[in-house]
Amino acid sequence: MYFLSMNRDCIMEKLVSLYEGKEARVSTFGIFSGFGYSEHRTFKRLVANNMDSFLKYGKVFEAQQNALNKKKGGQEKSYFLNEEQFMLLVAISKTTPESIELKMRIINEFMRMRTALAKMAVKAPDWQQVRKDGKEVYHQKVDIIKSFVEYATEQGSQSAKMYYTNLAKMENQALFLVEQKYPNLREVLNIKQLMQVATADQVVEKALQDGMDKKLPYKDIYQLAKERIIQFSSIIGKSQVIALLEQDAQLSLE
């Protein structure tokens, strides 16, 4: 999940973002002080006491967030509300002069996110085709990794299967700046990034094959792949990974 939490003076970059990279939601922990509540638990109780009404507008997610009070272990459970649930919260919560501007700001952010969703619906066909092409390249690389895993095992590696994960992490770290976790990073890359990672897959595939053809030690082959990816990254540069919907939402602010 991705939310830039606001402090007790309600200063933050963005209040509405994609929950687990999929749905626009706002965190109760991020807004409770701006709504005039001194404690998050009191604000959460407002939702909990009216949960049946909130559930009419969809599932209410609850998850851990970094807490301001470190004595609580550094994390605190927060509710993540969709647009309709947020509007219900506005209706039943107290109103202060300070909270009106904040509520309007969050409503506007939800509106921008809906606009971004609409834009994504138009862009989807091109993105889907590039993603499909990239999957074909990726599956070719996986076949080579499978051969490399067998190669490393024959040379005595006790954890050769970890190369499936290690090679993927190595590529991602070399190519992208990622500030949050995604179930599948490639599902949130833009078209340019998808094309870059597909090329990186081919670079890794070629390095592994070259190393095995030359009968190099498996550890040296991994380093060969890593060196070539770093060289490739030095040419194209690292890029920031921002979920597609968040990109469009940011553009709408300009």
Residue 91 has pLDDT above 80, yes or no: yes
Confidence of residue 67 (pLDDT cuts 50, 70, 90): low
Structure confidence at residue 221 (pLDDT): 97
The predicted pLDDT at position 69 comes to 44
Q: How confident is the model over 101-129, as pLDDT tens digits?
A: 899 999 988 888 877 766 665 656 677 78
pLDDT tens, position by position, 173-188:
999 988 777 778 887 7
Q: Comparing C-alpha atoms, which of 244, 141, 227, 252 is closest to residue 187?
A: 244
Question: In the 8-state DSSP scheme, what is residue 49?
Answer: T
The DSSP code for 184 is S
Candidates 120, 134, 127, 145; CA nearest to 204 is: 145
Cα separation of 171 and 232, whole Å? Answer: 10
